Amino acid sequence: MLLDIITSSDPVVRNTPLAVACRKLSYHELLAERDALDRFRRASANLYDRVRALFFLYAIDRFHLPARPELPTSGRIPYAGVERLLARRFDEAVRLFRAEEQASGPSDPVCSALAVAHHALAFQTLADQVRASVRGAAGNRWMFRTGSAGEHPLRVRPELRTRATPGGAFPVLRERTPVRMDLSHSCWSDIFFLGMDYPEGARVLNVSIDLGVNGRDAHPRPPIEVYFRVIDEPVLRLVSVDLDAAADVKSLAEVFDFARDYLGLLKAAVIASGLIPPGLEGVRQELKQVLAAQVGPGLGIELVSVVNDIPKGSRLAVSTNLLAALIAVCMRATGQAKALTGGLTESERRLVAARAILGEWIGGSGGGWQDSGGVWPGIKLIEGTFSAEGDPEFGVSRGRLLPRHTVLGPDRVPPEARQRLEDSLVLVHGGMAQNVGPVLEMVTEKYLLREEREWTARQEALGIFDEIAGHLQSGDVKLLGGATTRNFAGPIQTVIPAATNAFTEALIASARAQFGADFWGFWMLGGMSGGGMGFMVAPNRKREAQTYLRAEMSRLRNALRTSLPFAMEPVVYDFAINPNGTTADLLPLDEALLPRGYYALLVPRWLREDPRSVPASKRAELDRVGLAARRNPDLSGLVESLFDRMLPSAPNSPTKSGNIAELLAANGFDREQHERIRADLRRGLIGLALNRLPASTVVEDVRAGDVVDARAGLSAAHEARGRAALAAGEVAVVTLAAGAGSRWTQGAGVVKALHPFARLGGHHRTFLEIHLAKSQRISNTFGAPVPHVFTTGYLTHEPIAAHLEANRSYGYAGPVRLSRGLSVGLRLVPMERDLRFAWEETAHQVLDERKQRVRESAHAALIGWARGAGEGADYTDNEPLQCLHPVGHWYEVPNLLRNGVLRDLLAERPQLKTLLVHNVDTLGADLDPAILGLHLESGRQLTFEAIGRRLEDRGGGLARVNGRVRILEGLAMPREEEEFTLTYYNSLTTWVDIDGLLNFFGLTRNDLNDIARVGAAVNQMATRLPTYVTLKDVKKRWGHGHEDVYPVCQFEKLWGDMTAVDGVDCGFVAVPRARGQQLKDPAQLDGWLRDGSADSVSQLCTFSARG
């Protein structure tokens, strides 16, 4: 049955949603169909049949089998399969997981492992085909066969190697390229995998535009400029003015080292253009020999890029068009394009586009095939095309890698229609820079599965595309705006709900309210909104709209700055449709100067060189620059820039270190303890490797009597006892929200609890609102308002307090308290040995060959950074809040004792006996009466909840450690493979008996008034728990939307280790996965929304009405 969907030539059958077919199958029939799919994908010779079978297998194991009650919840994931999975030996991993299933029967854990393996194998198969198509594209093949300088066929054109005067400078070739905007979007139909399987559905309207920043630039111009020239030194000089980076590359190995510096894109262009072809990677030959063959002995090549400070995340494909411009200028310079100057022919444009795809693959990145659209002029229709004999894809996929470009001339889109678009459209950058990589995978997956809503939405988007094209041709921008708005609100968000966000929705609503009938529509420019966006308004209000949107974006950014990861201040653009595409000119020899930023970057370096070693051409250029700085307005301000770089002035504002000192003092920083930890770290007494328990430690899985299994429900007596406690007001909820949420934001330093991360009940909801809504439902049900406490820290306290006040605690009827943290740590530059341990001695997912090389290069660069910054030194080279760290969630419960929150709650509600403590990202945790009753019946001080382990659950679990049942943190696991022998994963959710916990600390309720005694008791208890050394990612923002991520060292104590402290009476209960799973990474959201988890959480909530 399922095979028919894959192999049928009937579109109706072929496009049957997998979910529809699976619903008709019984559990055992579904298992049988899965077996048939596995046999088919191994035997089929057709690439896309194999890939689609793999995606079917993934979806069955990820969504459809786990939803069946017959599937056992417990099982074992063989570590040998995990090892193969991490090593990218996906098929071997599948065989091992299947063998385990055949031996022990199907289970939820093994299904989770098979799902991951099938998903990875499917994308590996697709990526291999894209690589084969890229390498096999006409014009690319020779580059992989060139193995030495003697075989290199390219030579720089004579006119670029001829000086005007002896000792003078060489000519400068300049390429100027527009960026592209996608008018239609078409639900990401330009993704390579989708376009190669469904070319008839891959269509976009792509517009090449000149750009300027409104209020800064006099007029729009091609934002990308690149320069090529010969130089008097046998090096490859690469300069990125916008990234403030320059390097004299002197070896072939450095050319292929992409993460060494910020010049990876320029290196990719050098390789993809054929200057240094990929066949030379690893060749034992000097770079100067290759350069000598191309330009002559003792000479080299300089390549310079400028993008006019267009910020990252513009959704205008700046990086791809920059790559294309660099490739184009190198191709012109080496005779691979017929004309040195002017435009390119159609065949040359197509070769540049193919080379750009190659460059992105080489550099370990990639987007869609329309992204290099700026190479073409004006407005163009770009469509997928069917593969034909002679294409590398023929017989493999239905479509070709490269699409067909049709430039829409004045006969298709009249000049007045173009002008109307320019007169109405306001282009902006909202300030958010988001990773759209996961979106591309999700779109591919949903397409191949033909998921019901998404497939219908894709067909709807194709209809809207025809509307957009028609309105563009007629020049009816008002109807055009209506179509793009429906496209965004309907098909785009149906396929990828995360395409929108609270910032974007608020901005659209405010613009609509401000301009009323003159608001014509919204347009999402790329993979996700929040960065590049467009607003269409009546032409007579465009200037007003530019001013309003700049102010409104800034206002909303300030309101949401602690909730969403903004990388920069919002920007409004001016734009004009570019009629030329990429073009080149040869600068006159008497004016052959590079941009001002180039000289601001390099002249200080030149002035520090030994004058005797400076070539005559460079001295002559310095003379020309000095003269031009006095006469040429384009170089105005250069002298001041040079002085600023060479003699930087002292800042007038308080220093970062001063702000850090104030923050540390205000948040309970213990300098003496910090210095002890630093000394121990540098002496090697503590570190990542030493977090682990001794190798002699015996770690075993728990036994049947160690855990109460509540996944199938508990007794009526337990529920009755819990309901009575809730009705009597004996329970409060404590949500742990003091952490930095590093994984959620990749170290951006925003407050996870305040992130409006998903739409539930028609509105974007924050973690905070969802937790209060669960407590509201319980309060309503039992007629007793539940006190709800949020623990906070240095990063989260003020934002959460302000947010609750501004939103009136979301209308919550019960008491809401904040429990402020009383201690903080200062991050350190990591030790090299810890970085190497984390990257080289612990298990990690190996990436595909190119991306793995980039990762290893980045690791080498970061190790160099740690050495240069000083291993174990205080990390202070960032915004102050990014330099501090929370000291672990263990402290969040004792802080209730220290800061008086528990004392005050008990004074108000002396009947209070139990706390439900859970992490902010454990969205399914609520005051379940039956589990509460179980805890009360046990009489234990602490009852910890656990869930059945899946492959993705990493970080420890419930174990017998030397015979004692306890939570074993992943950091302390003596051997990584032992984690996969554990049935249960720790959810951190804990039922706490208040008096029992106080008693264990040596306290009573009355003692909570004695701050000194409480503090001493907490400190004494802290000495009984281990302190872990950890590495966390932290973002450092700079320039125009750029972000670097650094690993930093910090220290923490973890709540789960309470189970290892002698004398604590702990119980353990297994709960349903929907209750205990944690959302640690935004990449989990799509699965969370699709597998029923989001609906399960919604049913636990009673949301207050919004005004």
1074 and 939, same structural domain?
A: yes
Range with top average pLDDT, 259-268, 559-568, 928-937: 928-937
The answer on pLDDT for 651 being more than 50 is no
Per-residue confidence (pLDDT) for residue 366, from 0 to 100: 64
- 640 and 761 belong to one structural domain: no
Instruction: Give the residue-averaged pLDDT of 146-171.
Output: 89
Say if 1040 falls within a structural domain: yes
Element (H or E) spanning 969, and its range?
Answer: strand 964-969
Mean pLDDT for the stretch of residues 145-168: 89
pLDDT at 572: 96
Q: Which of 565-569, 833-837, 962-966 has the lowest mean pLDDT?
A: 565-569
In the structure encoding, which two tokens stand for residue 754, read together? Answer: 């305040």
For 950, other C-beta atoms within 10 Å of its C-beta total 22
**Which of 136, 171, 187 is where one domain is finished?**
136
- Residue 649 clears pLDDT 70, i.e. is over it: no
Per the model's pLDDT, the better-predicted residue between 593 and 804 turns out to be 804
Check if the beta carbon of residue 740 is closer than 8 Å to that of residue 885: yes
Rounded average pLDDT over 55-74: 96
- Least confident span in 555-569, 820-834, 913-927: 555-569
Residue 739 located in a structural domain: yes
Count of domains observed in the chain: 3
Higher pLDDT, 616 or 417: 417
Asked, for residue 743, whether it belongs to a domain, the answer is: yes
Rounded mean pLDDT of 619-637? 76
User: Is residue 422 in a domain?
Assistant: no
> 425-429 and 532-537: which strand pairing?
antiparallel
Average pLDDT rounded to a whole number, residues 39-48 = 90
User: What tokens does 73 get?
Assistant: 């919840």
In terms of phi and psi (left: phi > 0; alpha: psi -120 to 50; beta: otherwise), the region of 335 is left
Which residues, at least 6 apart from 169, have a Cβ–Cβ distance to it below 8 Å?
Answer: 163, 229, 589, 592, 617, 620, 621, 624
Mean pLDDT of 858-875: 95
The tens digit of pLDDT for each residue in 316-345 reads: 889 999 999 999 999 999 999 999 999 999
Nearest to 834 by CA among 680, 730, 633: 680
Do 804 and 931 lie in a common domain? yes
Amino acid making up residue 131: R
Cα 1000 from Cα 889, distance rounded (Å) = 18
User: Do residues 950 and 823 both lie within one domain?
Assistant: yes
Please indicate, yes or no, whether residues 613 and 746 belong to a single structural domain of this protein. Answer: no
- What pLDDT does residue 654 have? 46
Is residue 793 within 8 Å of 738, Cβ to Cβ? yes
**CA atoms of 648 and 641, how far apart (whole Å):** 10
* CA separation for the pair 1081, 1079 (Å, rounded): 6
Residue 675 included in any domain: yes
Q: Are residues 57 and 32 in the same domain?
A: yes
pLDDT in tens, 767-791: 999 999 999 999 999 999 999 999 9
HSE, side-chain direction, 13 A CA sphere, residue 1075: 21
Q: Half-sphere exposure (CA, 13 Å, Cβ side) for 232?
A: 15
C-alpha–C-alpha distance, residues 592 and 587, integer Å:
5
Q: Which range marks the domain in which residue 701 is found?
A: 662-829+871-1099
The token pair that represents 591 in the structure block: 């004016």
* Residue 682 CA neighbour count, 13 Å, CB half: 14
Kindly list the distances between the CA atom of residue 565 and the CA atoms of 435, 569, 656, 1002, in Å, as whole numbers in the listed order: 11, 12, 21, 43
Q: End-to-end alpha-carbon separation of the chain, Å? A: 50
- Of 768, 679, 659, 696, whose CA–CA distance to 974 is shortest? 696
Closest by CA position to 937, among listed 778, 727, 714, 733: 714
What pLDDT is attached to residue 747? 67
Q: What is the mean pLDDT of residues 349-372?
A: 84
Q: What angle do CA 380, 386, 390 make, to 5 degrees?
A: 110
428, containing H or E segment: strand 425-429
If asked whether residues 918 and 966 sit together in one domain, one would say yes
| Cα 803 to Cα 183: distance, rounded to the nearest angstrom | 37
The SS3 call for residue 1036 is: strand
Give 118's strand partners.
none
Say whether both 615 and 723 belong to one domain.
no
Q: Does pLDDT of 655 surpass 70?
A: no
pLDDT of 631 > 50? The answer is yes
> Percent of the chain at pLDDT above 90?
75
Helices (H) and strands (E) in the chain — how many of each? 42, 31
Nearest-5° angle of CA 24, CA 25, CA 27? 140
Mean pLDDT of 839-846: 88
Cβ neighbours of residue 1099 closer than 8 Å, sequence gap 6 or more: none
Task: With respect to residue 988, please indicate whether it lies within any of the assigned structural domains.
Answer: yes
- Residue 176, pLDDT score: 98
Calculate the average pLDDT of the chain. Answer: 92
* Cα 162 to Cα 159, 589, 799, distances in angstroms: 5, 11, 63
Q: What is the pLDDT of residue 653?
A: 43
Residue 1071 and residue 959 in one domain: yes
With respect to residue 468, please indicate whether it lies within any of the assigned structural domains. Answer: no
Residues 625 and 673 in one domain: no
Q: Give the dihedral of Cα atoms 1089, 1093, 1094, 1100; nearest 10 deg.
A: 180
Of the residues 71, 106, 136, the one at which a domain ends: 136
Q: Between 433 and 707, where is the model more confident?
A: 707
Q: What are the tokens at 992?
A: 């706490």
Residues 748 and 893 grouped into a single domain:
yes
Question: Does pTM top 0.95 for this prediction?
Answer: no
Q: What is the mean pLDDT of residues 847-852?
A: 81
Give the list of residues 6+ apart from residue 502 with CB closer than 8 angstroms, or none: 560, 563, 564, 756, 764
Q: What percentage of the chain exceeds 70 in pLDDT? A: 97
- So what's the pLDDT on residue 1107? 55
Q: Which helix (H) or strand (E) holds 268?
A: helix 264-272
Domain boundary among 114, 136, 158: 136
DSSP string covering 511-568: HHHHHGGGEEEEEE-SSSTTSEEEEEE-GGGHHHHHHHHHHHHHHHHHHHTTTS-B-S
- Reduced to 3 states (helix: H, G, I; strand: E, B; else coil), residue 500 is coil
Task: Encode pLDDT of 184-218 as tens digits.
Answer: 988 888 887 788 889 999 999 999 999 999 998 99
User: How far is residue 127's CA from residue 585's CA, in Å, rounded to a whole number?
Assistant: 37
Burial of 819 (0-12, 13-18, 19+ CB in 10 A): buried
Let me know if 28 is exposed, middle or buried by CB neighbors in 10 A (0-12, 13-18, 19+).
exposed
Residue written as tokens 């280790």? Answer: 1057
d(CA 250, CA 257): 12
What pLDDT score does 811 carry?
95
d(CA 818, CA 585): 64
Q: Helix or strand or coil: residue 4?
A: helix
Q: How much is the pLDDT for 609?
A: 79
Domain assignment present for residue 898? The answer is yes
Nearest CA among 287, 264, 261, 292 for reference residue 276 = 287
Residues 936, 1020 within the same domain: yes
pLDDT of 129 > 90? The answer is no
The residues, any chain, with a CB within 8 Å of residue 144's CB and separated by 6 or more, are 135, 277, 278, 279
The pLDDT of residue 658 is 57
Q: Is the pLDDT of residue 120 over 90?
A: yes
Query: Which CATH number belongs to the domain containing residue 1032 in this structure?
Result: 3.90.550.10
